Amino acid sequence: MGQHGCYVGVLSSGALVAASAALHMLMTRILPVDVVSYAPAITWGFTCLCLRKGMSYLYVLMFTAHITLASVCYWKIGTSNAVLNRVLLYPLAGSVMALVCAHPLPAVPTHGMAAVALLQCWSIVGGLLMLVIFPASIISSIEPQDVRGRRLTKFMRQADGRRVESLTVSSRKGVTLDVVVVQREEETDRWIIYFGGNAEMMEDTAEEMSGLTQIVQANWVFYNARGIGRSNGYAAEVRDLVDDAVHVVRHVSNRYSIPPKKLVLWGHSIGGGIAAAVARRESMSSPLVLDRTFSRLSDAAVTFSPLHPALTRLLIRYTTGELDVVADCKAAAGNKKLVIYHRMDEVIAYDVASLGRGDALRELRVDEGMVVELRGTLVQSPHNSLLSAFEERMNLHRCVAALFR
């Protein structure tokens, strides 16, 4: 009987762990956009139900802390912040459910509870890392969308020599993306889709980037990734950002009948990683501008992580997902490429993560004339300042023109 009970315990633990792993891995991928914000609440509720019986006193303390923190946030902010709703308020329902349903629940073996708890910790770490890697969703929730919208509307009305059009593009699982197309009044067959950095929003970059006439004269496309501004949903992992980018590229290419070689994928910082991933996934021959971009996302994370570099790289790979710019560019070997970097970059450390360092460039096999080192030291930010602020802008103009030939 004892041996039979042991087998039953192992099987039940295995089933619970498998169910927990499936929930953590699949919820954000299968739920439609209208309910995907409840995915963390579902996985958290399942974890609470598994742990409640075996750790009653500790659970009560955890629940008390959760409800206190959630109450303070609700009192101060209400339900206006989508990020706080997703990570704090909605999961409170799972905590309450486990507290109320404690008695009819069967006890979960200790090893099963430990495995479920570890999976929950893995999910929490992944979610927090994604917010650090792509904080635009947090930043966009701080400033009211109507304020940013008014800035964009003002630009659309006053864009001298440019025609500005607003579009909505559908992405995976019902996500809709806010897109702006800025076309020159003078006819041109040159197009650029811009993939911004991790804190950039379309409302702020559309006017600045499309005004880089000293460097390039082209039609520009800007968009907000999911969870930013009027784009719904949220990015649970890096592949979500790439999915959005792919759908924007497909839509714009078809709508305006743009040949791939006349469509430059221009990425700044993490946007360079997204641009390279799109080129590889879609097998596109479009030229790439990799502006102050990392060699790999995990390389960039090493600079900011207190953990050992090898552990940091593993953590990124198995939580948020990797962006391997070097590998993606090698796979897109036929694409023209322009690499822009700064040795004093305060975000992408040159000797660890920069795509412009020697070993990364050797792997990429980029033409020497298509590598531009920014040398300006008087700019406000080597990483974020507009390219027009650097003395190398004429060289950049030559290089970008070469991409379209």
The more confident residue out of 54 and 388 is: 388
Q: Is residue 306 in a domain?
A: yes
C-alpha to C-alpha distance for 299 and 272, rounded to whole angstroms: 14
Report CA-CA distances (Å) from 222 to 35, 167, 200, 252, 391. 27, 10, 11, 11, 26
Q: Do 59 and 48 form a contact (C-beta atoms < 8 A)?
A: yes
Q: Which of 133, 167, 192 is the last residue of a domain?
A: 133
The more confident residue out of 184 and 54 is: 184
Q: Residue 276 maps to which CATH number?
A: 3.40.50.1820
Q: Do 251 and 169 form a contact (C-beta atoms < 8 A)?
A: yes
Name the band, by pLDDT with cuts 50, 70 and 90, for residue 156.
confident
Q: Which of 133, 159, 175 is the last residue of a domain?
A: 133
C-alpha to C-alpha distance for 300 and 126, rounded to whole angstroms: 16
Percent of the chain with pLDDT over 70: 95
For the ranges 52-61, 68-77, 257-266, the lowest mean pLDDT is seen at: 52-61
Mean pLDDT of 239-265: 97
Name the band, by pLDDT with cuts 50, 70 and 90, for residue 108.
confident
Name the band, by pLDDT with cuts 50, 70 and 90, for residue 158.
confident
Q: Are residues 153 and 93 in the same domain?
A: no
Q: Are residues 157 and 115 in the same domain?
A: no
The more confident residue out of 176 and 100 is: 176
Neighbours of 392 (CB within 10 A): 17
Q: Are residues 148 and 40 in the same domain?
A: no
- At 386 the pLDDT is 94
Closest CA to 290 of 392, 213, 195, 401: 195
C-alpha to C-alpha distance for 153 and 116, rounded to whole angstroms: 48
Residue 9, pLDDT above cutoff 60 = no
SS3 sequence, 342-391?
Answer: ECCCCCCCCCCCECCCHHHHHHHCCCHHHEEEECCCCCCCCCCCCHHHCC
Compute the mean pLDDT over every residue in the chain, rounded to the nearest whole number: 91
- At 157 the pLDDT is 85
Q: Are residues 128 and 151 in the same domain?
A: no
Q: Are residues 385 and 306 in the same domain?
A: yes
The more confident residue out of 326 and 207 is: 326
Q: Is residue 248 in a domain?
A: yes
Q: Are residues 164 and 199 in the same domain?
A: yes
Residue 6, pLDDT above cutoff 80 = no
Q: Which of 108, 133, 158 is the last residue of a domain?
A: 133
Q: Return the H-helix or E-strand segment holding 181.
A: strand 176-184
Q: Are residues 87 and 184 in the same domain?
A: no
Q: Are residues 172 and 276 in the same domain?
A: yes
Q: Are residues 162 and 309 in the same domain?
A: yes
| Domain count within the chain | 2
The more confident residue out of 30 and 161 is: 30
Q: Are residues 174 and 286 in the same domain?
A: yes
Closest CA to 219 of 268, 164, 288: 164
pTM (2 d.p.): 0.92
Q: Are residues 325 and 259 in the same domain?
A: yes
Q: Is residue 138 in a domain?
A: no
Q: Is residue 139 in a domain?
A: no
Q: Which domain holds residue 367?
A: 144-403
DSSP SS3 for 288: strand
C-alpha to C-alpha distance for 115 and 251, rounded to whole angstroms: 43
Name the band, by pLDDT with cuts 50, 70 and 90, for residue 348.
very high
Q: Is residue 310 in a domain?
A: yes
Q: Are residues 286 and 265 in the same domain?
A: yes
